[in-house]
Structure 1
Amino acid sequence: MTGTADRVCVIGAGPAGLSTARALRRLGVAYDQYERHTDVGGVWDLDNPGTPMYESAHFISSRRTSGFFGFPMPESYPDYPGHRRILAYTRGFAEAYGLREHIRFGTAVTRVEKDGDGWTVELGDGSRHPYRAVVCATGVTWTPRVPRHEGDFTGEIRHSVTYREPAEFRGKRVLIVGLGNSGADIACDAAANADAAFVSVRRGYHVIPKHLFGVPTDEFAESGPQLPLKLEQPVFKVLLRLLQGDLTRLGLPKPDHRLFESHPLLNDQLVHHLRHGDVAVKADVARFDGPRVCFTDGTSEEVDLVLYATGYDWSIPYVPEKYFRWRDGRPELYLTAFNREHRNLFGVGYLEVNSSAYTLFDHVSDLVAQYLHDQEHDPGRAARFEEMIERDEPELGGGIRFVDSARHRSYVDAKAFRGYLARVRGRMGWRGLTPGMFDGLLVDGAGR
């Protein structure tokens, strides 16, 4: 590629990168897109090296709330689609809007450096290309977080990023460490396949069923009675107690936080397996002792495999840390996307949210595209937005006091976030997302 100094570089062709590409195409902003893998899909492609995906993985938000804006998932999909359907849907999105032809596959970006008012992007082949802006959209689940524990373990220790299918557990005594959504999924796989299954937890969680009254929980939350937070928390707590009973009876610790104050743990099967004794809850790991794992409550278990489902450290390895302001392992970005210190270096997809991730990607990437468009066509408005990037300090938690952890300090509430983005658009005079606004990009009338 030559003559790229007036173009935008998009790095990554997963959901966030594809959302960004569509937004730029709609406004006629010239861009190039790079993907180190051989196809689109990001983490949802099991053939993508380093993906954390596994065979039993499903969306934890429902079909109707989770798709790209203006491109709903097929009606034939179940409420919570599995990874193969999500991958097919994501690839269908790329095909429908003609995004694939603008992607250079099998091309890793190895370094991004500031160069005057623009940026220089170095590729894996050693070539260097100038761009006026760079959008990092390579995701947050590529660098496994592995804790250290005292002692020596004679069994096998792995991180969940290496896990693919339940057959790996057969004939083994398995300990899953961590009870996020992936940890809960994998614990259920172990419960159904291992000789013995245990899950180690440090704190209690509110376990939320995937359906309420036959409706996906997030759909119920969106379309059901809209209550103030101070009423919503106790009402839903009582509802969960009526539906599930006291989960401490099953060995789960009592939550040390109120409902909605941590990332939702949506899982029906975990409660089922706990009630049937297929998996047992253990305290936090204290140390290893040969084939045994010792826990902080003084108990121990002999285990063949310890699988850490302990999450991921966020990283943008191709961008030197000096270009992002990092706090608690998270880049501090205005509206989760805009770099406050270095103009035209963006991140899309760097957020923790309780619902509707793909749709939020679209809302965020649209603002990025509108701002980049204004730099060329309305510099005065672009300058006004730059003042907001520098000074605005929005509250995006919807009044929820999230758990005091690195993960939750970058958390946004989906409703509050959408509302604030709408107010930003209003202040800037930018058009919001509306049905049909992307129809002109559809190839051969494709759509859902």
Structure 2
Amino acid sequence: MAGNGSEPERVCVVGAGPAGLSAARALQRLGIAYDQYERHNDVGGIWSLDNPGTPMYESAHFISSRKTSGFFDFPMPEDFPDYPGHRLILQYTRDFADAYGLREAIRFGTAVSAVERSGDAWAVTAEDGSRHRYRAVVCATGVTWTPRMPRHPGTFTGEIRHSSSYRSPEEFRGKRVLVVGLGNSGADIACDAAASAEAAFVSVRRGYHLIPKHIFGVPSDEFAAKGPRLPLRLERPLFAATLRLLQGDLTRYGLPKPDHKLFESHPLLNSQLIHHLQHGDVAVRPDIASLDGDRVRFTDGTGERIDLVLYATGYDWDIPYAEKYFTWNDGRPELYLTAFSREHRNLFGLGYLEINSSAYTVFDHISNILAQYLHDQEHAPARAARFDRMIAKDRPRLDGGIRFLDSARHRSYVDAHAYRGYLGTIGGHMGWTGLTPGMFDRQRRSA
């Protein structure tokens, strides 16, 4: 797979989920030769329930809406609902791969076991024993494959699982269920338990701002995007006042008062949870203090008899095949613009970020810059060297002025508007072409 020179010409993309497919399309558009490895038997990543280890479950839906999500220049179909379910998202992702002929470069059923530095290139070893050298490696294998399981003192005689093993509300029939954690998955699963379990509880350590999926009949993110872009000092109180008008005081349902301002944490987008709290179908409990036989004790001194404890407590990020080449801080890789290794040239991590809106489109923006940088290495080396200096020294703020919570999760958080804006600034500074409507038309095939 090497070119005519002493070093290889091809790029390796690891993973064929949304981020990997975004990278592949960007490379393809600029004529950069690449190979792509995917350990599962089709594209789609976490969105396929058939993929072992996926965190997906039957009731899972997108938490950003159809019109604000999706790949750039490839909108979701108009007949999709406002918040498509996992089956439609999987269909859409596979249609995207077909539309741009991306399957042809993918080695399905082939996991990467190791990435090693090899001179000025990278040696990639697959689990089947094959080994190839590449000039660059794009790691795009995702962040929700390694479940995080807390430990609580005591012994529990019931069932303990992580939410990654959960698939169907039928698993709750006849059981007293405690869901631990109130992120978006935890809230969804708590609603499933509320409708199916004998009794449902959710353990919450802190309060969150709960945003309904629709505001005045319009998807929340679309509602926010339609209005004028206001300074945060104006946007936050206006949006908070709208939420109070629509929802009232959520503490009366047992939810703790948030210990942070609106937008300072990952948005909890759910319209069903309040319904189930209002009807007593699910009850809020504080953090777990200990486990005691068939009972769970909470920090307020109360306890409940529980059959199943389901931890919706998130995932540890890892890149096992190239772990040692990344600098990690609180479990997050430190990458320029969330994608470029500062220490190792042509090692990239795509999709290793937390963001408050439209991740697919953001993948396309950063993939575009990544591809143009690789293209310049061959065709405009002086400009590529200028970007090398930016990778080493530029320290942009991508939080949009929001002081995100001081936690490991939120240290990798970026504001979508600020992130896209800065990527546009970088593109203009470098003389690179930004994403424009219709730019992929010639590349697209009929699906």
Match of 1:266 among 269, 284, 287: 269
Measure the CA separation in 2 of the matches of 1:125 and 1:431.
39
**Alignment-mate amino acid for residue 366 of structure 1:** N
Measure the CA separation in 2 of the matches of 1:336 and 1:377.
25
Measure the CA separation in 1 of the matches of 2:142 and 2:364.
15
Deviation at 1:238, TM superposition (A): 1.2
Measure the CA separation in 2 of the matches of 1:245 and 1:411.
28
**Alignment-mate amino acid for residue 117 of structure 1:** D
Q: Which runs of 5+ in 1 are unaligned?
A: none
Deviation at 1:225, TM superposition (A): 3.2
Q: In the alignment, which residue of structure 1 is the partner of 2:414? A: 412
**Alignment-mate amino acid for residue 78 of structure 2:** E
Q: In the alignment, which residue of structure 2 is the partner of 1:421? A: 423
* Mapped pair 1:162 → 2:189: no
Deviation at 1:269, TM superposition (A): 0.1
> Could you give the per-residue CA deviations for residues 344-379 of structure 1, whole angstroms, max 9, x where no partner exists?
000111110000100000001111100000000000
What aligned pairs does 1:43-442 form with structure 2 within 5 A after superposition?
Answer: 43-321=46-324, 323-442=325-444
8 Å contact 2:182–2:202 — kept in the other structure? yes
Measure the CA separation in 1 of the matches of 2:370 and 2:391.
12
% identical aligned pairs: 77
**Alignment-mate amino acid for residue 34 of structure 1:** Y
Residue 344 of structure 2 aligns to a residue whose secondary structure is coil
> Could you give the per-residue CA deviations for residues 280-303 of structure 1, whole angstroms, max 9, x where no partner exists?
000000100000000001000000
Measure the CA separation in 1 of the matches of 2:292 and 2:37.
47
- RMSD over aligned CA atoms reads 0.9
Q: Which runs of 5+ in 2 are unaligned?
A: none
Q: In the alignment, which residue of structure 1 is the partner of 2:34? A: 31
- Once structures 1 and 2 are overlaid, which stretch shifts more, 215-224 or 91-100? 215-224
Q: In the alignment, which residue of structure 2 is the partner of 1:22? A: 25
Measure the CA separation in 1 of the matches of 2:11 and 2:224.
38
TM-score (norm 2): 0.98
Measure the CA separation in 2 of the matches of 1:212 and 1:270.
16
Residue 288 of structure 1 aligns to a residue whose secondary structure is strand
Deviation at 1:2, TM superposition (A): 6.4
Measure the CA separation in 1 of the matches of 2:408 and 2:191.
27
Measure the CA separation in 1 of the matches of 2:229 and 2:277.
32
> Could you give the per-residue CA deviations for residues 41-66 of structure 1, whole angstroms, max 9, x where no partner exists?
00000001110000000000000111
**Alignment-mate amino acid for residue 389 of structure 2:** E
> Could you give the per-residue CA deviations for residues 69-120 of structure 1, whole angstroms, max 9, x where no partner exists?
0000000000000000000000000000000111010001000000111100
> Could you give the per-residue CA deviations for residues 256-278 of structure 1, whole angstroms, max 9, x where no partner exists?
00000000000000000000000
Residue 78 of structure 2 aligns to a residue whose secondary structure is coil
> Could you give the per-residue CA deviations for residues 116-155 of structure 1, whole angstroms, max 9, x where no partner exists?
1110000011121100000000000000000000000000
TM-score (norm 1): 0.98
Residue 58 of structure 2 aligns to a residue whose secondary structure is coil
Instruction: List structure 1 segments (4+ residues) > 6 angstroms apart after TM superposition.
Output: none
Q: How many residues align?
A: 444
Measure the CA separation in 2 of the matches of 1:203 and 1:179.
9
